[in-house]
Amino acid sequence: MPVPPPAVADEARLAAQRGLDRATAVLHPGDPAAPARRPFAPAALKDPEALRAIAADLHQALAGVTGDTRLRRRIHQTLGVCHAELYWADPAERTEQTMQEAVVHLNHALTASAHATPTVEWADTLQYLARCLREVPGPWAEASGPSPAERTMRAALRELTRCVMTAETTEEALDVAVAANEIVARTIGWCLADDRHRAAIDIAEAGRGLVLASVVLSGRVEEVLRGSGNPAAAEAWRNGGEAGRATALNALWDTPSGEQLLTTPIGPEISVAMSGMRFDAIVYLVPPGRPDPAVRDAAAETGGHAIFLRPVLGKVEVIPLPGLSGADGDTPLEAYLAALDGALSSDPFERGVDGFRGGAHGQTWADALEKLGFWTYQCIMGPLLEQVRTWSLNHEPHLVLVPLGELGAIPYAAAWTDAGGGGRRYALEDLVLSYTASARLLTEVARRPPQPLNERVVLVTSPHGEHPMTRRATRLLATRQYPEAEVYGIKSERNGPATIDALLGALPGRDRPGASLLQLSTHGTSHPVPALQAKDGWLPLSRILEQARDRAPDAPGGLIITNACLTDRTQGHYDESLTLATGFLAAGASAVIGTRWPVDDDTAAALSLRLHLHLQAGREPAEALRRAQLDLLRPTADIRQSLGPQLAALTDDRLSHPATWAGHVHHGTWPSRPDEKKPDEKKEG
C-alpha cells in the first residue's frame, strides 16, 4: 500500500480524531462525569441516525489512516461499539450481519497492537465483544462448556483485576472493582440461563475477590512482592517498564496475598469447609443486570436470582427474584439510599431524643427503612424462606448471605411482612442471618479455631468521653461478666486511653492472636478510607491488615464487636467487601459484628448488654446477635429489668424500631469447639 504524503496523513489523523470526538459525545464510553445509574435502571438506547453517521465517518477515516496503529485500534473499537449499539437501537439493523461487523471490528481492536499494561478501556472492549458474541454466537460456539461470550467476560474480569492491582490508590481501585459488578451480574445471568450453576458461583467469587483485592493490594504491589520473598519481581515492578510490570503482575498472582484474594475456591473446597460450619447454605443474591434492549431471552439473563450453595455434597439450587426488576429501576432501595445519605449528612443537633432517626432527615430515613424492609421481604427474604422450608430442617435455618452490587446496601434483618391484626413478622424471627464478602473468605475463616471467648477480653469505649450510656454499659460488663477484662477509653479507664497502639495490640497480628473478645465502642469511618478513631488519631484498615500479613492460616481467631458508626457500610459504594468489618475478618478474626449506620448511645448500650448475656450463656455470635435483636424488638418486663433503670425506661418505640437493632450484622463463622457446652437458657433470663 503506498504511503500518503505527510500533509495528507496529518489531515487524515485529524479527521479521524474529530470522528472519535463526535462518537464520544454520543456513546459516552467511560465518561466520569456521567451520573451514577440508579439501582437496576435499564440501559438507555442510542440515537440510530447519530450512530449511522458516526460509523460512516469512522469507516472513511479508517481508510485514510494507515500507519498509526494506536489510532486504528481506537477507530476499530469505536466502530465495533457503534455497530453493536445500532443493532440494539434500531429494529431495521437487527441482523446477524450488523452484529458480525461489530465482532470483527472489536476483534481488530484487541489484536491490532501489543497489550502489556492493563486498562479499563481494554476490559470495556472485551465486555462489548462478549455481549456481541452472546447475541450472535456464530460458528465458534461450542456445544458444551463455557460459551465464547462467557470466556470473553472472564477475560474482561481478569483485565479489571489487573487494573485493581496496578491502581495507585484504594479509591481508584474501588472505582474499578465496583465497575466490575455489572460484568459479574450479567455473566451470572448468562451462566444461569445456560444451566451452568457452578460457573455462576465461580463468576460471583471472582467478582468478590476483585473487590477485596482493591482494598488489600492497591498501591502495594512492590511491597507485597518484597514481603513474599520475590525482590526480583519487585524490582521489575519499580524499574522494568511495561514488560517488567507485566512480569511482576504475573508473579503477584503466586504470592500468598494474591492467591488468597484472586483465586476462586472450587465447589468441593467450599463444601468441605462448610461441613465444619454452623449454617445451612451460602446464598448469593444477584441483582438484575442492566437489560440490553431487544436482547433475546432478556428476562432469563438479566433478572435477579438467589443461588443457594448447600453443604449437602455442595448442592446448588437457584430461584429467580423477579421482584427486583422495578419499573425503570424505581424501587424502595433507591429512595432508601438517598434518605440514608441525607441522614448521614444532616446536622446531628437536629436529631433530638430520637437519635439518628430524629429530625426531618432522620425520620425520612426511618420511613424509607420500613418501606425497604417490606419490599425486601416480598422480593427477597420471602422467596428465600419458601425455598428453605422445602428442606424440612429440624432447626431454625442459618443462611450466610453474599449480596452483590447494590443488594449489599440492604439491611436484611429489617425485612418484614404483615402478620395480621396490624402486626408484623420479621424474617429474623424465622432464621439466623450472617454475611460474608465471599465464600473464599469464609473458607479461610473456617480454618481458624475460635479462641475461648473469655481468654482475653478487651473493651474499648470512646477515647474522647462521648457516649456516656455505652461507657456505663461497658463498665457494667467489666464488673459482672468480664472481671479480668482490659478496658480502654478515656485516660481514667482501667487500662488507660484507647490509643492506636492499644487498638493494634488487641487486634490480630502475624505472631499473636489478638483479643479473644474485642468490643470497639468508638467511632468508625469509611471515607476517605475505612478507619477507627483512637485517642491519638485514626487507625486505617490498611495498617490493621499490614500487621496481620503472613499470619498462619490456622491461627486462632477471636470475636470482634464493632458497636460503632459505619463499620459495615461504605459511602459511595454499597459493597460489604470494602468495610472495616470485612477487613477484620481478612486480618484474622473468626467472627465480626458490625454496624450499617450510626448507632445511638442508649439503644446501642441496651443491645450490647443483651448480646453479651446471650454470649455468656453459650450462644454462638450469630445466634446471640439474633436473640439480642429479638429482645429489643419485643421487650418484656424481664428483658427491661436486665438493662438497669435508665435503659429500662426507654420507650417501646425506641427499642423495637428496626432503626435500633437491624443495622447490626454478623460476619464470619464460629466453628464448634470440642469442649463446648450447650447454651444455658437460665443465664439468658
Which cell numbers hold the place of 463?
A: 477515647
Average pLDDT, the chain: 83
Gap between the Cα atoms of 375 and 411, Å rounded: 12
Q: Tell me which DSSP letter residue 451 carries.
A: P
Residue type, 118: P
Q: Which domains does the chain have, with CATH numbers?
A: 1-113 (no CATH), 146-264 (no CATH), 267-435 (no CATH), 453-684 (3.40.50)
pLDDT of residue 142: 56
313 φ/ψ sector (left φ>0, alpha ψ -120 to 50, else beta): left
| Cis peptide bond upstream of 528, omega within 30 | yes
pLDDT of residue 624: 96
Q: Is 146 helix (H, G, I), strand (E, B) or coil?
A: coil
pLDDT of residue 144: 64
Other beta carbons within 10 angstroms of residue 240's beta carbon come to 15
Q: Is 595 helix (H, G, I), strand (E, B) or coil?
A: strand
Gap between the Cα atoms of 543 and 589, Å rounded: 15
pLDDT of residue 228: 77
DSSP E strands: which ranges in 192-334?
A: 281-286, 304-309, 316-321
pLDDT of residue 31: 46
pLDDT per position as a tens digit, 169-226: 766 777 777 778 778 888 988 898 888 888 898 888 888 777 666 666 666 777 778 8
485500534: which residue's cell? 73
pLDDT per position as a tens digit, 636-666: 999 999 999 999 999 999 999 999 999 999 9
Residue type, 513: P
10 Cβ partners below 8 Å, 6+ apart? Answer: none
pLDDT of residue 206: 83
pLDDT of residue 683: 66
Q: How far apart are the first and last CA of the chain?
A: 89
Return the half-sphere exposure (C-beta side, CA atoms, 13 A cut-off) of residue 368: 22
Q: Tell me which DSSP letter residue 450 carries.
A: B
Residue numbers in the chain where pLDDT is lower than 70: 1-9, 28-45, 114, 137-144, 170-171, 211-219, 242, 256-269, 271-273, 289-302, 313, 326-329, 564-578, 671-678, 680-685
